[in-house]
Amino acid sequence: MHSLFNLTLNLSRAGSVACVQSLPVDPTRPTLLLLSPVGTQCFYMKNAALFLISRFNLIILESDAVLSYATATAPTPSEGIADFYRQLCAALPEGMQVDALVGYCSSAPVALLAGAQGACRALLLLNGAYFLPGDAIAKSQYERDVERMMQSIPLGNWAQVYEAVRLLHANSRYAPSDYRYQQVRPLREVEAFRQYLIFLNHLKTLEITHAAQAVETPTLVWCGGNDGYTDTASSKYVATWLAHAELVEDPVGQHHDFVDGHEPLYQAMTAFLNRHAPRAAR
């Protein structure tokens, strides 16, 4: 019986990094690394994990841990992300390696950068929020609103912006113990809000097109036709630069399908991973 446990990985330069891992590790199974979106914690991914745990070894890591190291120690976020993943792979138990990397929402560009470094054998980008520069690629109203909030960091008025945003979410019905609270956590906690915007500003500097061109692994790009948070245009744009992309637009797909227990998405992910699994793990 496989279960999820809170563990700590000791990385050579990044130090102790908290994560969630499924145990016991089954060497005959592929290992999936799930990246939680910026501003969220590992348990936000629990519904996906509870479905996938029957087929895969799982590691859940917070994007904030990656970006905290990457933005503090390297000349560019891209270099820092690459360095973090090299350390992560070296810190895994002997014989264990990341076979597939899953990025969802704002963790999709982080996963894309890692995939460009050859960090996995398969890449899954789900309802990605890529913060592409300019207005040539269509954006949702939510994406435009977040980009306006991001501007408060260089302008120095983020605290005032937080007070205005907090009032909009003051009556959220989700308690902090509810995984859905993670959807509004960066907008309800002042320090989380500031860090959220800082990290998103760093993501906006990433060279997404260059990273996508460097990815050599099979990549599932999934977007939902009813996603009110991220416009499908950015996922479609990224897919055009990937050499081995499988683009799927679910016409009834919602933004939170991955974290809300949407089994058709999990089944599509499993089918994709089975097609691209190492031969010994099939």
Active site positions, annotated: 105
Closest to 114 (Cα-Cα) out of 219, 22, 6: 219
Strand order in the sheet with 3-11: 3-11, 15-23, 57-62, 31-36, 100-104, 122-126, 219-224, 245-250
Rounded Cα distance between 151 and 145, Å, is 10
What is the C-alpha radius of gyration for the chain, rounded to an integer number of angstroms? Answer: 18
Kindly report the number of other CB atoms within 10 A of residue 204's CB atom: 16
Q: What CA dihedral angle connects 161, 162, 167 and 169, to 10 degrees? A: 120
Q: State how far the alpha carbon of 91 is from the alpha carbons of 40, 88, 120, 166, 194, in Å.
A: 23, 5, 15, 39, 30
Rounded Cα distance between 89 and 276, Å, is 20
